Amino acid sequence: MSRILVLGGTRFIGRHIVEQCITHDDDITLLYRGRSPSPFSGIARHVLSDRRAPTSEAAAALAEPWDAVIDTSAQDLEDLRAVLPLLGDVGRYVLISSCGVYRRDPGSNGLTERSPTIPADAAHPVRASATRKLRCERYLERRLASMAVPLLIARLGLVIGRHDDSERLAYWLERALRGGDVLVPMPDHQPLQLVDAADVARFIRTAIEQQLTGIVNVAGPTTTARVLVDTVLTHAGRSVTACRVGEEFALTHGIRPWTEIPLWLPASSPEIALMSVNTTRAVRAGLTHRLLKDSIAEALTWQALRRRWSQRWLDRSREQHLLREWHG
């Protein structure tokens, strides 16, 4: 049992981490703003504050002794500048970061923890959030070293699972639940690496116990777009058919990869490089992976209860119009 302060913890990955800590009987405090409702009332202590401007209650909580601080919500330096000076006796600090910080080198043979990162001052709009994350990593490395607090930076790949509010896997889940002919633009062999948030959470809790420090990649096993789409469609329990129109057809008809059809990365996309993350260090330290079909089945059950369609996704009538054209 450990005393753990989670900076965040109420939405998706943080929520899974808190659930995991609770199963270990940890004494948990969540510091968050209260915009997302916490499912842990009565189980964990809650301190409501914006971390960028801590209230006196938050300042007092930060100054308490903690076996570990797990930071799921640091997105930029402003999230750290107000918090770090208030910390007292902290056993270790875990930053949830992202594999997005790696440089996208074409033909890269797998991203290890030593692979080059993007410049911390890069202005590329798509990578702006990764740039900010990298600045957080660097800041924590400097500041925590001077405070002699061990730091673990967990760089996560694409995470899926219950409570995933992003518009990525949810597209395929929702599309499958709606049934009928589904336009699939991805080539069968497009690589994907998806890690279940429950596996991330179990790993983070194990890593704390093992006193792991430094940088660690936490990503899923490599799979393909074909396997993912087939798994989602098979488990949806609806009458649904994949229409594999191919990348060229989809691109010439102006369908936007990733935004209109999430998880589609055209062969020319530099982001493909992020689908070959080497997780040897994490696996040696205890990362295990659920079967994709089990993750998908659970995510489908969750999606079936929320049933949300994003305005950014490929419109159903346009999809059916394109499919009529494709069928000729």
Ligand X SMILES: NC(=O)c1ccc[n+]([C@@H]2O[C@H](COP(=O)([O-])OP(=O)(O)OC[C@H]3O[C@@H](n4cnc5c(N)ncnc54)[C@H](OP(=O)(O)O)[C@@H]3O)[C@@H](O)[C@H]2O)c1
Nearer to ligand X, 74 or 183 (CB): 74
Measured CA to CA, the distance from residue 273 to residue 102 in angstroms comes to: 9
Nearest by Cα to 32 from 88, 87, 74: 74
Contact with ligand X (CB under 6 A) among 50, 76, 113, 271: 50
**Residue 35, phi then psi, degrees to nearest 5:** -75, -35
Residue 154 contacts ligand X per CB under 6 A: no
Contact with ligand X (CB under 6 A) among 5, 84, 140, 159: 159
The DSSP annotation for 249-290 comes to HHHHTTPPBTTTBTT---TT-GGGGGG-B--HHHHHTT----
Contact with ligand X (CB under 6 A) among 19, 26, 29, 73: 73
Segment 78 to 97, residues that bind ligand X, using CB under 6 A? 96
Measured CA to CA, the distance from residue 303 to residue 22 in angstroms comes to: 24
Point out which span in 10-18, 207-215, 240-248, 278-286 binds ligand X (CB under 6 A): 10-18
As measured in angstroms, the least distance from the Cβ of 30 to ligand X is 7
Nearer to ligand X, 14 or 257 (CB): 14
As measured in angstroms, the least distance from the Cβ of 170 to ligand X is 11
How many residues are listed for the chain in this entry?
A: 328
Nearer to ligand X, 128 or 248 (CB): 128
Point out which span in 12-20, 109-117, 209-217, 312-320 binds ligand X (CB under 6 A): 12-20
Tokens encoding 158: 């694409």
| Residue type (1 letter), 179 | G
Q: What residue has token string 């990525």?
A: 168
Residue 12 contacts ligand X per CB under 6 A: yes
Measured CA to CA, the distance from residue 140 to residue 123 in angstroms comes to: 21
Nearer to ligand X, 250 or 300 (CB): 300
Measured CA to CA, the distance from residue 84 to residue 257 in angstroms comes to: 39
Residue 13 contacts ligand X per CB under 6 A: yes
As measured in angstroms, the least distance from the Cβ of 264 to ligand X is 16
The strand pairing partners of 90, in sequence order, are 66
123-128, long-range: CB within 8 Å, 24+ apart, which pairs?
Answer: 127/100
Residue 277 contacts ligand X per CB under 6 A: no
Contact with ligand X (CB under 6 A) among 8, 185, 220, 262: 8
CB nearest ligand X: which residue? Answer: 14
What binding mask, one character per residue, do residues 95-134 give for ligand X by CB under 6 A, x or -?
A: -x-x------------------------------------
Tokens encoding 122: 């890069």
187 in Cβ contact with 267 (< 8 Å): yes
| Pairing of the two strands 45-48 and 27-32 | parallel
Point out which span in 46-54, 201-209, 236-244, 287-295 binds ligand X (CB under 6 A): 46-54
As measured in angstroms, the least distance from the Cβ of 21 to ligand X is 12
Tokens encoding 189: 């062999």
* Strand runs labelled E in 39-162: 45-48, 68-71, 93-98, 151-156, 158-160
Footprint on this chain of ligand X (rule: CB under 6 A): 8-15, 32-36, 50-52, 72-73, 96, 98, 156, 158-159, 166
